[in-house]
Structure 1
Amino acid sequence: MTATSIDPTSDLVSVTVSGSAAQVRVTAMGEIDSSSAPLLRRHLDTVLDGGAREVTVDLDLVTFLDSAGLSALAAAHRRAARDDVRLRVLASSRAVIRPLQITGLWELLGVVQVEPGTGSAA
């Protein structure tokens, strides 16, 4: 499985999906806000609809994350927990880490802090 069939990019963010049907990595690059978060959410829903057992959301290359992006991640978490899917979130920049920490999603999602540029290796 490589790039998805759902609009792979918007003006602010690009999202790619890779891995096997059981272990999927969703990688976002750019800004996730109210106009681009629906794209991330559609990708996560598609992956979860596809029967993935483990999903890694790689936010290493995300430069901005607002409440709409946080909401998309929280929705994916709820769905993954309900469907017994392991959801991992990787983050490296303060622009992503800080909103996750402030909202309590850092602990809820069990976010893994990675060194910048190493998300794809984690």
Structure 2
Amino acid sequence: MTVTSSIPGDDLVSVAVSGNDTALHLTVAGEVDSSTAPALRAALDEALDRAPRQVVVDLDAVSFLDSAGLCVLASAHRRATERGLQLRVLASGSAVIRPLQITGLWDLLSVERVDPGTGSAA
């Protein structure tokens, strides 16, 4: 079963969800900050509730990531770990990579660096 849906945020962020019962892929685009992080949290919560073996969070098209977004990712990691699920995070731009590295989440989440424009292909 393949699922494709889109979680509307606002004009600043979009989250597209695709995949099946085994793996879900969330493609995030735009800015993830205190006003848009709830949309990402909702999409991740819904994905984790489906309990696939793997959830991929593709941040290739994210142009801004602040502490609210970092908190959402850390929370999703904790939930996935508790449920025995694999959470993969893909990132390409410095606007995402730097905050993840500075906070130590880069290592905790085992973020995978991808070439710009190739996140959704990983």
> TM class, shorter-chain normalised?
over 0.9
Gaps of 5+ in 2: none
Q: Kindly indicate whether residue 121 of structure 2 is the aligned counterpart of residue 101 of structure 1.
A: no
Instruction: Supply the AA of the counterpart residue of 1:62.
Output: V
- Following the alignment from structure 2 to structure 1, what is the Cα–Cα distance between the partners of residues 46 and 60? 21
| TM-score, L = length of structure 2 | 0.96
| TM-score, L = length of structure 1 | 0.96
Is the strand fraction higher in 1 or 2?
2
RMSD: 0.8
User: What's 1:23 paired with?
Assistant: 23
- Following the alignment from structure 2 to structure 1, what is the Cα–Cα distance between the partners of residues 91 and 64? 11
Give the Å deviation of 1:70. Answer: 0.1
- Following the alignment from structure 1 to structure 2, what is the Cα–Cα distance between the partners of residues 60 and 11? 18
Correspondent of 2:5 among 3, 6, 17: 3
Report runs of 4+ in structure 1 exceeding 4 Å deviation.
none
User: What's 1:76 paired with?
Assistant: 76
- Following the alignment from structure 1 to structure 2, what is the Cα–Cα distance between the partners of residues 58 and 10? 18
Q: Kindly indicate whether residue 34 of structure 2 is the aligned counterpart of residue 52 of structure 1.
A: no
